[in-house]
Amino acid sequence: MIMYKSEKLVQHIKQLIENGSYSANTKLPSLRAQAQVTGYSLMTILNAYQTLIAEGRVYSKEKSGFFISEYNYNTYQKTNTVETSQPQKIKINSKVFSYLKQTQASDYIYFSSAFPDEQCLYNTKIMKILAHYAQQKPIGTTNKNMPPGNLKLRQQIANRYILQGIPTQADDIIITSGALDALNLALQTLTQTGDYILLQDTIFYGAWQAAERLGLQVITLPTHPQYGFNLQAFEDLLQAYPIKVCSFMLNSHNPIGFTVNDKIKEKIASLLEKYQVYLIEDDTYQELYYFGQKPLPMCYFEHQNRVLHCSSFSKVLGANIRIGWVRTETFSEKIQHLQLMSTLAANTLIQETLANFIATPYYDKHLQKLRKQLYQRKNLLYHLLLRYLPSSCHIHYYSSGYFLWIELPNHLNSTALFQILLSQNIGITPSHLFSIHEVPHNYIRINSSFHMDSQHKQAIISLAHAIKYLIYQRMPALLHYFKTDSNAFRRL
Ligand SMILES: Cc1ncc(COP(=O)(O)O)c(C=O)c1O
C-alpha cells in the first residue's frame, strides 16, 4: 500500500517543525508554490494543510496564507506532575525478564521485537571484512582493543560527531558492549546508591533496569503530548528535587517515537547548566531518521560537558554486534575503571571489523538502504493498521525509527491484549513495560520493520480482532453473541 501524497507532505512538514527548520509563525509556501516544488496537485496540498490545521500545527490567516502555530510549552498541568512523581526505588527487572521469556518462541510473529528485521541489517561487505580478520593469526592484539577501545574505531565514531558540528576526539569515545552497557556505565559513573535521578515517565525498560541495579531514587517526567519533552515540568522538577542525573531519549524515542526539536534541546541544555545536572542521553536510534538531517544530540547544545552521549550499532547492524559507545570529554577514566570491573572490553574481532567497515563508503550506503526500507515498511504497516484497527485506536506515527505506538480506547488493558495474542503466537509490547506507574496501561508498541507477508498481515487482522473482542467484552449482550457464533470475530 502506498502512502498518500497529502500524508507524505503532512509528515514532511511535521518533521521540519520538529527539527526546528520551521519555527512559530513561519509562513508556509502558498498552495501554488508548494505544488510547483512537490509536483502535487493543489487539492493534495490543501488536504495536507487542512490536516495540519486540524492537528493544531498550522493556522490560516485570511488573505495572508498558512502559518506554523505558536509553540506551546505549557500543555502539561502543573499540579499533576509533582504529585505523580514522588521519588521511588524501582522494581521492574522481574517483569521485563518474564515478558522476554514469554516472547522468545521461535515460531513467533515478532511485532514485539526491539530490533529491526535481521534481513534489513544483513550486509555482505561487513561479513567479508569479518571473515578476513577471522582468518588472521593472531586476530589483532588484545591490548589494542582494551578500554577505551580500538583507536581506529573511536576515530571513525568521533568523525561522525565532527560531521554534525560537534568537536570530538577519539579520546572522548569509550567503546562498550552495546548501548545498554554504555548506559549502565554512564549511570554508575555519575551516581551513588540513593541518589535522585530523573527519567521520562515512559521510556525503554533498560533505563529502569539500570536505575534498579544501582538502587537509585527515580523521579519521572511527564511526556508532552505534542512535543514529547515537557520543559515546564522539567524545570519544576529540577527546582523541587536535588536531581543529580537525568537519563533521557530525545531522538526517535523508544517506545513513543518522537524526536524533540532543536529549540527545546537548546532550553534543556541551558537548564542542565543552570541546575548543574548531568544528562545521560540514549541515542540508540540516531541513524534511523527519514527526512532532512540526522537529529542533533544534546552535546551539540551543551558546553559544560554535562552530557554523556550513549549509542550503539545494534539498530543498524544487529544486536549481536554488541558494540556501543559513550561520548564524554570528562569521565573517560572513570568509565574505563568500571569496565575493568565488569565487561572488561568489547569483542576484539568485532571492533577490528567495525573499524574497517565504517571507514568505507559501504557503511553509509548500508544506512541509506536501511532507512529507505524501514521507512517504506513503517508506512505500509501504518496504513494497514489504519485500515483494520477500530477507529477508536490512535496510532502515533513519527517519521523516524521503526516503532508505532498505539493508544487503545481508554478502558482497554494492553496486558490483557498481550496475553490474548501470545496464545496465538503474536508478540506485541504492552505499555506497562515502559512505565513504573500503576496507571491504566492502554498503549502497545509494534515493530514495523518486518516484511509484510501473508502471515504478518494475518497477525495484524488478529490484532484488530482481539482489540474488538476486548471492546465488546465490556458489552455483555455482544459477548454472548461471540460465544454462540465462532465466526463473529472475523465479521467485525
Ligand atoms: C532505547 C534503547 N537503548 C538501548 C538499547 C540497548 O541496545 P544495545 O543492544 O546496543 O545494548 C535498546 C535496545 O533495544 C534500546 O531500544
In this predicted structure, what is the pLDDT of residue 475?
59
In this predicted structure, what is the pLDDT of residue 482?
54
Q: Which amino acid is at 37?
A: V
In this predicted structure, what is the pLDDT of residue 476?
57
pLDDT digits (tens, 9 = 90+) for 213-239: 999 999 999 999 889 999 999 999 999
User: Would residue 102 count as lying in a domain?
Assistant: no
In this predicted structure, what is the pLDDT of residue 468?
92
In three-state secondary structure terms, 446 is strand
User: Would residue 95 count as lying in a domain?
Assistant: no
Confidence band for 491, pLDDT divided at 50, 70 and 90: very low
Q: Which residue has the higher pLDDT, 4 or 102?
A: 102
Task: For ligand 1, say whether the CB of 326 is within 6 Å of any of its atoms.
Answer: no
Q: How far is the CA of 162 from the centre of ligand 1 (A)?
A: 23
Q: How far is the CA of 179 from the centre of ligand 1 (A)?
A: 5
Determine how β-strand 223-224 pairs with β-strand 228-229. antiparallel
Q: Are residues 245 and 317 in the same domain?
A: yes
Task: For ligand 1, say whether the CB of 179 is within 6 Å of any of its atoms.
Answer: yes
pLDDT at position 193 over 50: yes
What CA–CA distance (Å, rounded) separates 110 from 233?
35
Atom of ligand 1 minimally distant from the CA of 314: 10
User: Would residue 391 count as lying in a domain?
Assistant: yes
Q: Are residues 379 and 278 in the same domain?
A: no
User: Would residue 163 count as lying in a domain?
Assistant: yes
In this predicted structure, what is the pLDDT of residue 88?
85
Q: How far is the CA of 206 from the centre of ligand 1 (A)?
A: 7
Mark which of 345, 361, 377 sits at the end of a domain. 361
**Sign, CA torsion 364/369/373/379:** positive
User: Would residue 110 count as lying in a domain?
Assistant: no
Q: Are residues 293 and 180 in the same domain?
A: yes
Phi, psi of 279 (to 5 degrees): -125, 130
Q: Are residues 228 and 84 in the same domain?
A: yes
pLDDT digits (tens, 9 = 90+) for 116-126: 999 999 999 99
DSSP secondary structure, 197-209, as one string = EEEESS--HHHHH
CATH number at residue 153: 3.40.640.10
Pocket perturbation via mutation, ligand 1, pick of 205, 254, 287 by most ligand atoms within 8 A of CB: 254
Q: How far is the CA of 407 from the centre of ligand 1 (A)?
A: 23
DSSP secondary structure, 232-289, as one string = HHHHHHHHHS-EEEEEE--SS-TTT-----HHHHHHHHHHHHHTT-EEEEE-TTTT-B
Confidence band for 71, pLDDT divided at 50, 70 and 90: low
CATH number at residue 470: 3.90.1150.10
Mark which of 361, 378, 399 sits at the end of a domain. 361
In this predicted structure, what is the pLDDT of residue 39?
84
Q: Are residues 370 and 455 in the same domain?
A: yes
Q: Are residues 188 and 242 in the same domain?
A: yes
pLDDT digits (tens, 9 = 90+) for 130-172: 999 888 866 655 677 789 999 999 999 999 999 999 999 999 9
* 67, containing H or E segment: strand 65-68
350 Cβ contact list (under 8 Å, min separation 6): 130, 321, 322, 323
In this predicted structure, what is the pLDDT of residue 45?
87
325 Cβ contact list (under 8 Å, min separation 6): 149, 154, 157, 173, 174, 175, 176, 182, 310, 311, 312
Confidence band for 36, pLDDT divided at 50, 70 and 90: confident
Q: Tell me how far CA of residue 390 lies from CA of 110, 381, 406, 414, in angstroms.
A: 22, 15, 11, 15
Q: For the chain, what percent of residues have pLDDT higher than 90? A: 66
pLDDT digits (tens, 9 = 90+) for 288-331: 999 999 999 999 999 999 999 999 999 999 999 999 999 999 99
Atom of ligand 1 minimally distant from the CA of 207: 3
In this predicted structure, what is the pLDDT of residue 299?
98
In this predicted structure, what is the pLDDT of residue 82?
41
For the chain, the C-alpha Rg in angstroms (whole number) is 23
Ligand 1, atom 14: closest residue by C-alpha: 114
In this predicted structure, what is the pLDDT of residue 76?
36
In this predicted structure, what is the pLDDT of residue 77?
38
Pocket perturbation via mutation, ligand 1, pick of 103, 259, 284 by most ligand atoms within 8 A of CB: 284
Q: Which residue has the higher pLDDT, 28 or 284?
A: 284
What is the total count of domains within the chain? 3
Task: For ligand 1, say whether the CB of 148 is within 6 Å of any of its atoms.
Answer: no
To the nearest whole number, what is the mean pLDDT of the chain? 89
Task: For ligand 1, say whether the CB of 175 is within 6 Å of any of its atoms.
Answer: no
Q: How far is the CA of 309 from the centre of ligand 1 (A)?
A: 13
Task: For ligand 1, say whether the CB of 401 is within 6 Å of any of its atoms.
Answer: no
The answer to whether the CB of 115 falls within 8 A of the CB of 316 is no
CATH number at residue 33: 1.10.10.10
Task: For ligand 1, say whether the CB of 207 is within 6 Å of any of its atoms.
Answer: no
pLDDT at position 46 over 90: no
Q: Are residues 369 and 312 in the same domain?
A: no
User: Would residue 112 count as lying in a domain?
Assistant: no
Q: Are residues 318 and 383 in the same domain?
A: no
In this predicted structure, what is the pLDDT of residue 79?
37
Label residues 359-384 b or e (16+ Cβ within 10 Å = b): eeebbeebeeebbebbbebbbbbbbb
Q: How far is the CA of 149 from the centre of ligand 1 (A)?
A: 20
User: Would residue 118 count as lying in a domain?
Assistant: no
In this predicted structure, what is the pLDDT of residue 34?
86
pLDDT digits (tens, 9 = 90+) for 451-477: 999 999 999 999 999 999 998 876 555
Q: What is the largest CA-CA distance in the chain?
A: 74
Confidence band for 445, pLDDT divided at 50, 70 and 90: very high
Task: For ligand 1, say whether the CB of 201 is within 6 Å of any of its atoms.
Answer: no
Q: Are residues 336 and 320 in the same domain?
A: yes
Task: For ligand 1, say whether the CB of 81 is within 6 Å of any of its atoms.
Answer: no
Q: How far is the CA of 450 from the centre of ligand 1 (A)?
A: 18
Task: For ligand 1, say whether the CB of 314 is within 6 Å of any of its atoms.
Answer: yes
- Domain span at residue 249? 78-89+123-361
Phi, psi of 207 (to 5 degrees): -70, -40
Task: For ligand 1, say whether the CB of 176 is within 6 Å of any of its atoms.
Answer: no
Task: For ligand 1, say whether the CB of 58 is within 6 Å of any of its atoms.
Answer: no
In this predicted structure, what is the pLDDT of residue 72?
44
Q: Which residue stretches of 359-453 are H helix?
A: 361-388, 414-422
Q: How far is the CA of 55 from the centre of ligand 1 (A)?
A: 32
What CA–CA distance (Å, rounded) separates 480 from 474?
11
Task: For ligand 1, say whether the CB of 85 is within 6 Å of any of its atoms.
Answer: no
Ligand 1, atom 13: closest residue by C-alpha: 114
Q: How far is the CA of 337 from the centre of ligand 1 (A)?
A: 23
Atom of ligand 1 minimally distant from the CA of 312: 10
User: Would residue 325 count as lying in a domain?
Assistant: yes
Q: How far is the CA of 211 from the centre of ligand 1 (A)?
A: 15
Task: For ligand 1, say whether the CB of 284 is within 6 Å of any of its atoms.
Answer: yes
In this predicted structure, what is the pLDDT of residue 65?
86
Q: How far is the CA of 435 from the centre of ligand 1 (A)?
A: 16
Q: Tell me how far CA of residue 233 lies from CA of 228, 242, 261, 265, 310, in angstroms.
A: 12, 15, 17, 14, 24
Confidence band for 478, pLDDT divided at 50, 70 and 90: low
Task: For ligand 1, say whether the CB of 182 is within 6 Å of any of its atoms.
Answer: no
User: For the chain, how many helices (H) and strands (E)?
Assistant: 20, 15
Task: For ligand 1, say whether the CB of 317 is within 6 Å of any of its atoms.
Answer: no
56 Cβ contact list (under 8 Å, min separation 6): 69, 226
Percentages of the chain per state (helix, strand, coil), in multiples of 5: 50, 15, 40
Mark which of 361, 382, 408 sits at the end of a domain. 361
Q: Are residues 274 and 394 in the same domain?
A: no
In this predicted structure, what is the pLDDT of residue 489?
53
pLDDT digits (tens, 9 = 90+) for 373-432: 999 999 999 999 999 999 899 999 998 999 999 999 867 999 999 999 999 999 999 999
Q: Are residues 293 and 407 in the same domain?
A: no
pLDDT at position 30 over 90: no
Averaged pLDDT, 99-107: 81
Q: Are residues 290 and 378 in the same domain?
A: no
